[in-house]
């Protein structure tokens, strides 16, 4: 039986998806890949390979977040065959419907994310999911929004460029760009003094020590970035575009991810620095799934040991098939029934 929730305001979900095996998409991607010649290491094919478990994402949202208003499903143009397109809560959004034409076509997730506020009909309050994040237990609306403000944790964490590959180098560079924009627009001392109870809230528990120890630095040195869904206000996206249009334009102009890109973490940081959030500790865990730990992670899923999981693989193609079978069997165990989003 589903839990019942009473909400005063609508909360939507936005989730992007790509079918990396679509021949037409691959043809267009490869054409622009040759023209742009982006760095292959963090634009490799394995970023688009499918776990074939998207149906479990819809089942999980329907079961554990039944209070959601609408799901905005962002796509290059393809849609999964299992989707029930007649579901009134499902909105299929093509890139061309909201991303400015000058940025299209795009194979850059940052472009897809940084323009979300342009989606027609999207509620002011929404949760941004990726298709590799799955709720495993009931979550109430006030975990994401309270008093119409996003719920989040304002935890400083230094950007430490420990690089084991090109993807790591890209990620740390992106974080540094995000923080440089934040420090250009906000004074750390003023930000934390103005909303002291949000930055030094006991709900953060052991993480609070990070903010205390980094108090010696006058500028922000980075933020903790939980790899789980985040709550956003659509108006914050517009505000950042109004103030930092050149930075966002440069990021969105890149057809593929590159070192010029900021990303949607910048919008989240902006909300934190404005004090436009309610303090709470983030739940859930991100896993790098390998052939050695996939059984352990499958057990986490099958026994609901986390509120939310984010799954990323690190394996060979042959290992990926075995991992996928193990993980999807666990999802089938806890989510065996079709959702209204399926045919």
Q: What share of the chain is helix, strand, coil (3-state, %, to 5)?
A: 45, 15, 40
| pLDDT value of residue 188 | 98
Contact between 196 and 95 (Cβ < 8 Å): no
The CA distance from 304 to 54, in Å, is 18
| pTM of the complete model | 0.93
Helices (H), 254-341: 265-274, 294-302, 317-334
Q: Per-residue confidence of the chain (343 residues) as pLDDT tens digits? A: 344 555 558 999 999 999 988 999 999 999 998 887 765 554 444 555 688 999 999 999 999 999 999 999 999 999 999 999 999 999 999 999 999 999 999 999 999 999 999 999 999 999 999 999 999 999 999 999 999 999 999 999 998 877 665 556 778 889 999 999 999 999 999 999 999 999 999 999 999 999 999 999 999 999 999 999 999 999 999 999 999 999 999 999 999 988 888 999 999 999 999 999 999 999 999 999 999 999 999 999 999 999 999 999 888 888 999 999 999 999 999 999 999 999 9
What angle (nearest 5°) sits at the alpha carbon of residue 181, between those of residues 221 and 111?
A: 115
CATH of 12-284, one of 3.30.1380, 3.20.20, 3.30.70, 3.90.550: 3.90.550
Please report, for the chain, the start and end positions of each structural domain, with discontinuous segments joined by +: 12-284
- Distance (Å) of CA 292 to CA 212, 295, 313, 320: 37, 8, 11, 11
pLDDT score at 20: 87
- Inter-residue contact 191 to 227 (CB < 8 Å): no
The predicted pLDDT at position 2 comes to 47
Q: What is the per-residue pLDDT for 316?
A: 87
Tens-place pLDDT, residues 124-160: 999 999 999 999 999 999 999 999 999 999 999 998 8
Query: SS3 sequence, 92-148?
Result: EEEHHHCCCHHHCCCCCHHHHHHCHHHCCCCCCEEEECCCCEEECCCCCHHHCEECC
């Amino acid at each position: 039986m589903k839990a019942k929730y009473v909400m005063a305001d609508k909360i939507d979900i936005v989730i992007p998806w790509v079918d990396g095996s679509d021949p037409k998409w691959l043809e267009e991607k490869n054409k622009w890949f040759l023209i742009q010649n982006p760095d292959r290491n963090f634009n490799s094919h394995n970023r688009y390979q499918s776990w074939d478990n998207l149906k479990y994402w819809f089942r999980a949202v329907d079961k554990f977040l039944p209070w959601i208003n609408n799901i905005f499903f962002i796509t290059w143009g393809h849609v999964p065959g299992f989707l029930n397109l007649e579901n009134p809560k499902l909105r299929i959004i093509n890139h061309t419907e909201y991303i400015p034409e000058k940025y299209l076509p795009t194979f850059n997730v940052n472009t897809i994310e940084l323009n979300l506020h342009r989606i027609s009909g999207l509620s002011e309050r929404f949760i941004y999911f990726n298709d590799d994040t799955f709720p495993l237990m009931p979550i109430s609306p006030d975990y994401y929004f309270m008093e119409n403000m996003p719920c989040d944790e304002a935890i400083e964490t230094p950007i430490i460029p420990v690089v084991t590959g090109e993807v790591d180098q890209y990620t740390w560079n992106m974080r540094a760009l995000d923080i440089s924009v934040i420090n250009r627009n906000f004074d750390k001392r003023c930000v934390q003094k103005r909303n002291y109870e949000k930055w030094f809230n006991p709900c953060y528990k052991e993480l609070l020590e990070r903010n205390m120890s980094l108090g010696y630095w006058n500028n922000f040195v980075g933020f903790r970035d939980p790899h789980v869904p985040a709550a956003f206000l659509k108006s914050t996206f517009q505000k950042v575009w109004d103030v930092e249009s050149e930075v966002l334009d440069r990021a969105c102009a890149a057809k593929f991810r590159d070192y010029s890109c900021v990303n949607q973490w910048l919008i989240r940081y902006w909300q934190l620095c404005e004090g436009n959030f309610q303090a709470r500790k983030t739940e859930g865990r991100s896993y790098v799934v390998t052939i050695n730990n996939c059984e352990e992670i499958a057990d986490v899923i099958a026994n609901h040991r986390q509120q939310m999981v984010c799954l990323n693989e690190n394996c060979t193609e042959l290992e990926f098939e075995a991992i996928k079978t193990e993980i999807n069997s666990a999802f089938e165990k806890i989510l065996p029934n079709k959702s209204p989003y399926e045919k």
